[in-house]
Every structure is written in structure tokens, then in C-alpha cells.
Amino acid sequence: MIRLKHLFLIFFVAQGFNLFAFEPKDTIIYKKAPIENFKSKIIDAPIVIKTSPTAFLWGGLFPYTSEYRLMAEITTGRTQSEQVSFSFIGKGVLLKMIERSQNYTGSEVLKVNGWRVQYAHKFYLIKKKKFAPSGFYFGPLLSYSDIHISLGLKRYYNKTYYDFRNFNANLMIGLQAAKKKRIAFDLYGAIGYKSNKAFYHANSVRIDQLDTSDYGAFYTTNLNLTFGINLGYSF
């Protein structure tokens, strides 16, 4: 009888375990969130390579010069970017047309050459989930240029020339559309301070600073106003 009771007890305990095992469970199952790929957190922002048609038309010392400008803008954060540019400065396209139409001689033509460097830091006013370098922006713009103009080929070969130097520091505002693998368009304006100086190089040793008071208010004023359009491509 004792053994039979033990067998019944074991049987009922086993049945209880089976019922508990198959009982539906009313519980919440927590799944682990997928691990984000490190690359997905990196902003795949474009590098924008640009040039300026407005600088080509009237850049530098209008109407004597034209600028052939190359610019690169690199995104440094979700709402910021750095922009650097270098310009080769040559004779203005309008001046070239005038000299050719008037058949100027070698002693009458102007020889023009120079360069310009620029730096800008842009702050983009954009919403969440948007990234530089597209949208409205503002920031500082610094520029320095040096232009040499010789009257006639003889003076040019003798290194006798006028030397025009310009420095300006500005606050610029603009709007740029520069999505990756698309044509970039940049429209901007700036206001700030400028300093113009002129020198005359009689030879490699003698350099005289010129009085620019009679060059006109546009040249002598310290107020600088800039407007431009840049076109390029976003890589």
C-alpha cells in the first residue's frame, strides 16, 4: 500500500508539472534593439568644389582685372563648414575687348597679374535632420589680394609696375543648395571693413607708397560691400 501511494503521488506531481509547462503565459517579451552600424552615425556630407562667374566678370580691380577662382567647402559639423579659395588674377575681359578693338600697341597695352586668397567659416541655420552645406548661412569672410599692373611691355619686362593690395574682413550671409552628387548653387552678400594700399615699384629695390586720396571714394572708403554667385559640384 505504501508503494502504491507513492506511485499515485509521483503521478499527480508529474501531471501538475505538465499542466504548468503548457499553460499559456501572459508576459511581455523584450527584444534587444539592433546595434547601429558605426558608419550610419557618420554624416556623409559632400565636399563642394566651386568657381565664381561674378569674380570672373568684375573681381579684383574692376575693370582692369578678372579673377579665375577655385573654391573648396568642407563640412566640419552638422551645421558648420570651412571654405577656402584661391584666385589667379589676370586682365579684365572688358579691358581685353577695348584693347583689341582699339588696336593698342605694345607700349599701350596693360599687363596684369595677381592673386587672392580667401577663408570663410559658415554657420548654417537649418532644422533637425538637415545637414550642412545646404541652406541659409552666415559667418566671417576674410580676403587678401595683391595685383600688379604694368603700362606697356617694356615696363613689364623691367619689373616696373603698380602694386595694389587689398585686405577685407566681412560678415556674410547667403543661401546654398549643395546636395551630394548634384550641381551646387551659392548666392551670398557681405558687408565689412577693407583696407586698400597702392605702391609703385620703379625697380626691384625702389618701392614708393602712393597717395590714393584722388582714387575716388569707392576705392578709399573703409566700407566693403560684396555680392557674388558661386557655381560648382558636390562630391
- Domain annotation covers residue 20: no
- Domain annotation covers residue 135: yes
pTM for this one? 0.79
Domain with 102 in it: 46-234
pLDDT for res 127? 83
**Distances from the Cα of 187 to the Cα of 26, 51, 68, 81, 192, angstroms:** 62, 12, 18, 16, 17
- Domain annotation covers residue 39: no
- Domain annotation covers residue 25: no
- Domain annotation covers residue 12: no
Domain count, the chain: 1
Tell me the pLDDT of the chain (235 aa) as tens digits.
555 555 555 555 555 545 545 555 544 444 555 555 544 455 567 899 999 999 999 888 999 999 999 999 999 988 999 999 999 999 999 999 999 999 898 889 999 999 999 999 999 998 877 888 999 999 999 999 999 999 999 999 988 999 999 999 999 999 999 888 889 999 999 999 999 999 999 876 788 999 999 999 989 999 999 999 999 999 8
- Domain annotation covers residue 142: yes
- Domain annotation covers residue 227: yes
